[in-house]
Homo-oligomer: A and B are copies of this chain.
Amino acid sequence: MANATNEDIFKQFKEHSVAEFFKKNRQMLGFSGKVRSMTIIIHEFVTNSLDAAEEAGILPEIFVQIEVLDKEGDHYRITVKDNGPGIPKTHLGKALGQMLAGTKFHRYVQQRGQQGIGAAACTMFSYLTTGQKTRAVSCHKGKKLTADISLDFKTNRPIVEEVSEEDTTESGLMVVAEYKDVRYERSDYGVYEYLRRTALANPHTSITLVEPNTEKSVFPRSVEMNPKRPTEIKPHPLGISTHDLLEFAKHNSEYKKLSLFLINTFSRFSSGKVDELRAILPGFNFDKNPSDLEWHEAEQLVKAFAGVKWIAPATDSLVPIGKDQVELSFKNIFNPELVIITERPPKVYRGGIPFMVEAGIAYGGGLINAQKKGDVMRFANRVPLLFDSSGCAITNMIKSIDWKRYDVRAFEEEPIAVLVNVVSVHVPYTSAGKQAISSEEDLEIEIKNAVMEAARSIQRYLSGKRKASDLANKKKLVSRYVSQLSGDLSSLSGEKREKIEKTLRYIIETKYSSEMGVDDEEAKDIKAAEKAKKEEAESEGDSDE
Binding site for B on A (CB under 8 A): 1-7, 9-10, 12-18, 20-21, 24-25, 27-28, 32-33, 45, 48, 51-53, 55-58, 82, 84-88, 90-91, 94-96, 98, 100-107, 113, 115-116, 118-119, 127-131, 138, 140, 172-173, 241-243, 246, 295-296, 298-299, 388, 390-391, 396, 426, 428-432, 436, 438-441
Contacts and interface: CB of A to CB of B under 8 A. Distances in A.
Contact of A21 (B15, B91, B100): B100
Given A10-B103, A28-B430, A1 B96 contact: yes
A173 B3 contact: yes
B131 A295 contact: yes
B95 A18 contact: no
A1 B87 contact: yes
A333 to B, nearest CB: 26
A432 B24 CA distance: 12
Contacts of A20: 100, 105
A54 to B, nearest CB: 10
A24 B96 contact: no
A15 B86 CA distance: 20
25 contacts: A3-B56, A3-B140, A6-B85, A7-B88, A10-B91, A10-B103, A13-B91, A14-B105, A15-B94, A20-B100, A20-B105, A21-B105, A25-B429, A27-B429, A27-B430, A28-B430, A28-B431, A28-B432, A128-B243, A129-B241, A130-B295, A388-B391, A388-B430, A391-B436, A430-B430
Contact of A2 (B10, B27, B103, B128): B103
A101 B16 contact: yes
A2 B87 contact: yes
A411 to B, nearest CB: 16
